[in-house]
Homo-oligomer: A and B are copies of this chain.
Amino acid sequence: MERKLLLLGMLRLQEMHGYQINELIDTHLGTSIQLKKPTVYKLLNSMEVDGWITRRDEQEGNYPPRHVYTITPEGESAFQELLRENFSEYRPISYLGDIGIAYLDALPDEEATTLLTRRRKEVSSLLSHLESDHRHGEGFQIMMSFHRCHLSAEVEWLDDIIEQLKTSDE
A contact residues vs B (CB 8 Å cutoff): 2-3, 5-6, 9, 12, 31-35, 79-80, 83-84, 86-87, 90-107, 115, 118-119, 122-123, 126, 139-140, 142-143, 145-147, 149-154, 156-157, 161
Contacts and interface: CB of A to CB of B under 8 A. Distances in A.
A80 B161 CA distance: 21
B142 A99 contact: no
Nearest to A145: B157
Contacts of A123: 90, 92
Q: Is the interface of A mostly helix, strand, loop or mixed?
A: helix
B161 A142 contact: yes
A93 B103 contact: no
Given A33-B95, A86-B100, A142-B161, 13 more contacts: A5-B100, A6-B96, A32-B94, A35-B96, A79-B106, A80-B106, A83-B100, A83-B107, A90-B122, A90-B123, A95-B146, A101-B146, A149-B156
Nearest to A87: B115
- What are the 10 A-B residue pairs with the smallest beta carbon separation, nearest first? A153-B153, A86-B100, A102-B143, A34-B94, A149-B157, A87-B115, A2-B96, A9-B103, A90-B122, A33-B96
